[in-house]
Amino acid sequence: MHWGFVLLFIYGLLKQIDELNQLKDEALLKFEVIFAVIFILLLLIRFVYMRTTQKTSLPQSTPRSQVIAAKVVHSGMYICLALIPLTGLLIGLLFWLGLEDGFLINLVVGSHELVVSLIYWLIGLHILAASYHRLKKDGVWSSMVPFFKEVSNEDDKKINI
């Protein structure tokens, strides 16, 4: 599910529009709305699934500051992943209503761009933290990444015969 969202997010980035005037194409506007709605629904399903079935893979010995940082980054990512399509839908609505320029649409476009920039920072922190746990060999990396499985510190201590 994690990597499916990575691919879906990358697809959303690759197919993004470059200029608001592209929304004059009704088929493109419709596609953007459908994509945003599907993305939000899948995000909601993922959020509910993760909250009800998954537990943190952070070891109990993890310092409280790291636990808080992990919660802030994860919550921030969910918030940004929801706000990106929601602000995109609002941009589409304003454009469809004929508010193609002016303070309101510029405010929403600016908010949209800010949230996109913020998600890049959060993704960077997420990758940095995953790499840290890979080096630490505490099992967190292996719970998130389906390849390059880590060997635990306990496995390092075993004697090969």
DSSP string computed for 122-142: HHHHHHHHHHHHHHHTSSHHH
User: What predicted TM-score, i.e. pTM, was given to this entire model?
Assistant: 0.81
Overall domain count for the chain: 1
Q: 40-54, 74-88, 93-107, 146-160 — which is least confidently predicted?
A: 146-160
Torsion, Cα of 129, 134, 136, 137 (10° steps)? 140
Is 113:96 a contact under the CB 8 Å cutoff? no
Percent of the chain with pLDDT strictly greater than 90: 43
Show the beta-strand stretches assigned E in 88-149: none
Q: Which candidate, 127, 123, 41, 11, places its Cα nearest to that of 77?
A: 123
Q: Which two tokens stand for residue 76?
A: 């921030």
Position 135 pLDDT exceeds 80: no
Is 91:109 a contact under the CB 8 Å cutoff? yes
Q: Domain of 73?
A: 2-8+23-54+63-146
pLDDT tens digits for range 21-73: 888 888 989 999 999 999 999 999 989 988 888 777 777 878 898 889 889 99
In a domain, 120, yes or no: yes
Q: Which two tokens stand for residue 48?
A: 């509910």
In a domain, 156, yes or no: no
In a domain, 153, yes or no: no
